Amino acid sequence: MNKPLSPTTSRYMPTDSPQSASGAPVAVKSLSNNHTRRQFLKSTLQTTGVAALGLSAKTYGYTAKEVQDFFVDGQMQRNVSQWELDTPALCVDLDILEANINTMQSTTRRNGIASRPHAKTHKCPIIARLQLDTGSVGICTAKVGEAKVMFEHGIEEIMMTTTNVTPTKIKRAMELSRINTSFIHATDSMSNARLLSEAAQAFNITAPVVVDIDPGGHRTGITPGESALMLAQLIDSLPGLSLRGLLCYDGGSQHVQGFAARRDQTLGRLAAATATYDLFQASGLSTEIFSGGGTGTYNIDHNIRGLTDVQVGSYLFMDTQYLAIGGENDNSVYSDFGASLTILTTVLNDQYEGRCTTDAGAKACTINQPWPQVKGEQGMSYTSGSDEFGTLRYEANASRTYRTGEKLELIVSHCDPVVNLYNHLYAIRGETVEAIWPIAARGMST
């Protein structure tokens, strides 16, 4: 699996005086000198793998900043083997990604609900487009900044799952609403609903809103039942707002170990949300949207009466945290979805017994646990507790050892915060880099 370390002199040639393998100078084209911006953008679009995914290229108007991000030291790293990539590199296996999307779309369709995937996981407009074009009814975002980036890349069906509470954020959200009438706001208090309505009126718009219901974790959301009903009635009466339904994200149940325990917990916790849904219905209020669920409960949530869609995110990529929860058919490994997201890392030091050091530490992997797993290998453990370096330790039954300069692939610990560390994602088919996708909403935490 590893690229042999066989440097040749030509690898080291300065880029402004290249030589052929025989040592003779060769002609080179500088992209920046010989391509017009139009030609360049066109070629960029052709090379992003959009066509390969059956999507329309016109949606992908990259900003100048993103075009810059495609380049690593002035060179487009496409059509090379993934083992040639500079590391640490965040990679997604396209075959596995597409299979995961297919599983989610077909399962939710079969169960009579839809998916409204959460873009907080991927922060990547190309993936959002892929989700929408394969049947998702919209995407979710946790932050206004994420929603704005998605919209700037042609994604319109966006629902924010977080309540915006400050004047600054409400203003930014309403500015987005003004140019994207599909954008849906969340709210969880009467005072906030009044602020939203006031802001929407100032913008001369009617903003779609859903009520965020607390599933019992007391993190966000209003208490289900009468409180939620009163909030919905207020929204329905306010001049700047248009009630669209409710959301109840049971984050605390997603990682419950074992399918049966997970099912029982989430169905129990969502009972109050369902009762609230009934109250909305009995009062003639909109329940067009009743959104909930996640990757851990995607094949359970359709049992919740009235639920329309699941806010799944991690199913795209998977990670060691989700693999550990067990699935309906296999209680030891959650195998419904494949681990498509990996970090490619290089061994920097092999001089010490029983271990080696790599270039992927906490800044490349986070310190979430279970720690990253070396893909395809057994009998070794990886830790990324050090900021700059990863540590690989061999057990007695290690399937192999590594030499300095060799590369290995890590299944990530927790996909969301890992993706948020990288500017781009290498989209791999087989072992070849098919595209480089900007993680355009990376760091959009406001």
CB of 328 to its own copies, least distance (A): 25
Is 425 buried (19+), middle (13-18) or exposed (0-12) by CB count in 10 A?
buried
User: What's the one-letter identity of residue 21?
Assistant: A
Contacts of 200 (CB under 8 A, 6+ apart): 174, 177, 206, 207, 240, 241
Per CB under 8 A, which region of 96-104, 149-157, 219-227, 286-294 contacts its own copies?
A: 219-227
> Is residue 322 part of the contact set for its own copies (CB under 8 A)?
no
Site for its own copies in 229-288 (CB under 8 A): 251
Exactly one of 32, 56, 86, 230 binds its own copies (CB under 8 A); that residue is 86
- Cis peptide bond upstream of 88, omega within 30: yes
Closest by CA position to 436, among listed 62, 111, 22, 167: 62
Task: Considering the complex, state which of residue 133 and residue 175 has its C-beta at the smaller distance from its own copies.
Answer: 175
Q: Which range binds its own copies by CB under 8 A, 127-135, 283-291, 324-332, 413-421? A: 413-421
Q: How far is the CB of 87 from its own copies (least distance, A)?
A: 6
Q: Residue 259 or 382: which CB sits closer to its own copies?
A: 382
SS3 of residue 198 by DSSP: helix
SS3 11: helix
Using the contact rule CB under 8 A, the part of the chain among 140-148, 268-276, 293-301, 334-342 near its own copies is: 140-148
List, in order, residues 6 or more apart from 157 with CB less than 8 Å away. 132, 137, 138, 139, 182
Q: How far is CA 180 from the centre of its chain?
A: 22
Specify the pairing of strand 341-349 against strand 184-187: unpaired
Q: Is 202 in the site for its own copies (CB under 8 A)?
A: yes
- When binding is defined by CB under 8 A, the residue of 29, 38, 58, 218 that contacts its own copies is 218
Task: Establish if 223 lies at the interface with its own copies (CB under 8 A).
Answer: yes
- Cβ proximity to its own copies: between 148 and 185 the closer is 148
**Residue 39 binds its own copies, judged by CB under 8 A:** no
Chain residues 49-78 in contact with its own copies, contact rule CB under 8 A: 64-65, 68, 72-73
* Tokens matching residue 145: 């900044």
The 376-395 site mask, x for binding its own copies (CB under 8 A), equals: ----------xxxx-x----
- Please tell me whether residue 84 binds its own copies under the rule CB under 8 A: yes
Nearest Cα residue to 122 out of 86, 164, 150: 150
